[in-house]
Structures are given as C-alpha cells and as structure tokens.
Amino acid sequence: MHESSYPENSIAVPDALAHLRRFPLDGALLLFDRDSGLNAFCEGSETAHLKQAAPRVVQFGITNSCNLACTFCSRDLIAKSEWTLEQAFTILADLAQLGVLEVAFGGGEPWTFPKFAELVCRLHDETPLAVNFTTNGLAMTAESLSAIRGKYGQLRLSLYENNNWRFKIRQLVESEARFGVNYLVTPERLPELERTVLELASLGCRDILLLSYNGLDAALHIDSTSALGLAKRVAVLANALKNDCQIKLDVCWGERMEDVPRLFKRNDCGAGRDFIVLTSDKKIQPCSFHELKIGVENASDIMEIWRNKQNELYAPALLPGCARTPGFGLERATTSAY
C-alpha cells in the first residue's frame, strides 16, 4: 500500500515523538512505543479527518493448554489448539501491516505453546508489533526469560494462591523483566487488598492491574456498595504508591469505580473495536467473555469481520459482569460456577 494511503503519516508531531508508531483513531492520532508502552494521544484540527482502520490490539489465545485448572477461567475448556508457530506468525505479521499495534498472548498458558520464545523473538525482530503476554508463571524459567530478553513489551503475571507468585516475582525482578501483576478482586480477597498490593510493591512489582470477575458465580462478584468502597481504597493506594507502583483497573469495571484517568475519552470498554480476541481454535471474539465466535483463516477474514460486523461485535456479553450491560448483568448471576 502506498504511503499516501496512510493520512496519519502527513501529520507533524514533536521531534521527540516522531519515532513512535502512528495509529489513527476517529478524529485523533495515537503515537505508540512498543518497548516502553508509552502512548501519546494527539487531538486537534490536524487529526479531525482521521479514521480508525484496524483494531489496536489483538488478544491471542495461542493455545488452550494450561497447567492450572482455575474454576473462574473464561476460556472454552473444550476448544482445540489449532495454531502452529508459522500460522500464528503469518497472521500477526499480516495484521501488523494492516495497522495493528499490539498482540497480547494468553490462552491457555502461553509457555505451553511449542517454541513460544521463538515466536516472541520473531515477532519482535520481523514485525513492528508490541508483543505482550499473560502467564501463570509455572512454566517460566530464568532460561526462558533470558531467551526473550528485550524482545517483548511486557509480561503480566497472574496472581493465584497456587502459583508461588512471591518466588515468581523475585525471579522476574532478578531477570530485569518488564512485568506487571494481574490480581482478580473478589469478595473473599477484598479484606486483604491493601496488604497484598503493598507486599507486591515491596517485592519490586511496579504495575498492578485489578481485574473484575465476569461469570456466573455470584460469590465472586463485587456488589455495588463494595465497588464504591473499593474505589476509595484504590485511590488511597494509588496516591500512596504513585512514585513506586501504578495501580490500574481493567476495562470491565466500567463505571463501577469513581472517575479515573483514561487513555481514551470514552466510557465504552472497546471490545470488538479497540481490541479483538483470536481464540485457540481460530475464531474471532469481541472479548474473551463473549459468546460470539466467528471462524477465520487469515488476516483478511479478521479485518472483514472487524469492518462489517460492528453491531455483532459491539453487543454486550451475556455473562454477568459485562460493562456494556445495564447493571453489569449482575441480576443474572447465579451460584453455579462455570
């Protein structure tokens, strides 16, 4: 495609930001550094004509294999693992050429995918994509971290009671890895929130993402009163740790929290538009909690769905917890775990 096909390239930006990758939004321009994760949002008369041309992020369930069996996991437990290394590389390289900025590997457990480190390195060396992934850390070693050193944007360690997370964080710190921690907030965990966050910071974690629960188990959902109290507690923690650690909220919290800083000036979560999910059995979803699944074979299939099926991709998920559903669908929650 000719350079003139990319109107975002004609916009002048400060010299200090000129090296960043450009991503057009509707009426705005996003500048992105894949290594540091820096985002610079530009908006003005110069950007008014821009239109978003691709998803910003592909969340890729590279495998359905996992070495844990968490009852709250959102993945389809019977889905096949159909990707090979070459297929995964090709579809992601093609999506990068079409404008996608980032891939975020999940699954399943990415480290159980054959030659995962090789895939990470090839994507970094041969494409402009930012490569990120979420892991439970159990199959992660000092050697595997060394193999991808400098080849990824950030890895995120999920915190579970049974994955020896304190040891894993020390391992990440010692390896000088770029990492953050994902922490699912449930009613049972609420009393220990401050203690856990402060311990994570003391161990060297500089990025903590608080996740909300989406699913049918009512015992894992935070009610509205608790969410308001949680918002105040998070604000206090964020202020106390502002020089040492970032506290972040996932998009599924929606408006349950008090107003917080956002990269984009919108209330929608962005599922199906800003990001899409590619499953282990070669299907596209708006998000990993959504029941909609459409089979794909290549990047062209993905882009055709992204362009032409926005109504379906924008529909709220049926699982309780979806930020697009009035009341977050919590009245549908039952005590049956899924």
Q: What is the pLDDT of residues 26-46, one digit of tens each?
A: 999 999 999 899 999 999 999
Q: Where are the domains of the chain?
A: 3-47, 57-325
Residue 159 has pLDDT above 90, yes or no: yes
Surface-to-core class of residue 119, CB atoms within 10 Å of its CB (0-12 exposed, 13-18 middle, 19+ buried): buried
- For residue 303, how many other CB atoms are within 10 A of its CB? 19
Residue 213 has pLDDT above 50, yes or no: yes
Tokens representing 103?
Answer: 């891939």
Mean pLDDT, the chain, rounded, equals 92
CATH pick for 57-325 out of 2.40.128.20, 3.30.2350.10, 3.20.20.70, 1.10.357.10: 3.20.20.70
Helix, strand and coil percent figures for the chain, each rounded to 5 = 35, 20, 50
Mean pLDDT of 132-152: 96
Least confident of 23-27, 168-172, 329-333: 329-333
pLDDT confidence band for 333 (50 / 70 / 90): low
The answer for residues whose C-beta is within 8 angstroms of residue 235's C-beta and 6 or more apart is 258
Per-residue pLDDT, 336: 44
Mean pLDDT of 226-253: 93
Q: How does DSSP classify residue 46?
A: G
Q: How does DSSP classify residue 327?
A: G
Q: What is the pLDDT of residues 32-90, one digit of tens each?
A: 999 899 999 999 999 999 999 999 999 999 999 987 777 777 777 778 999 999 999 99
**130, 34 Cβ separation under 8 angstroms:** yes
Mean pLDDT of 111-115: 95
Tokens representing 58?
Answer: 């592909």
Residue 338 has pLDDT above 60, yes or no: no
Rounded-to-10 torsion of CA 229, 212, 256, 245: 60
Question: What's the CA gap between 87 and 78, in Å, rounded?
Answer: 21
- For residue 198, how many other CB atoms are within 10 A of its CB? 14
**Residue 73 CB-half CA count within 13 A:** 21
Pairwise pLDDT comparison (94 vs 257), residue with the higher score: 94
Per-residue pLDDT, 1: 46
pTM of full prediction above 0.85: yes
Residue 17 has pLDDT above 60, yes or no: yes
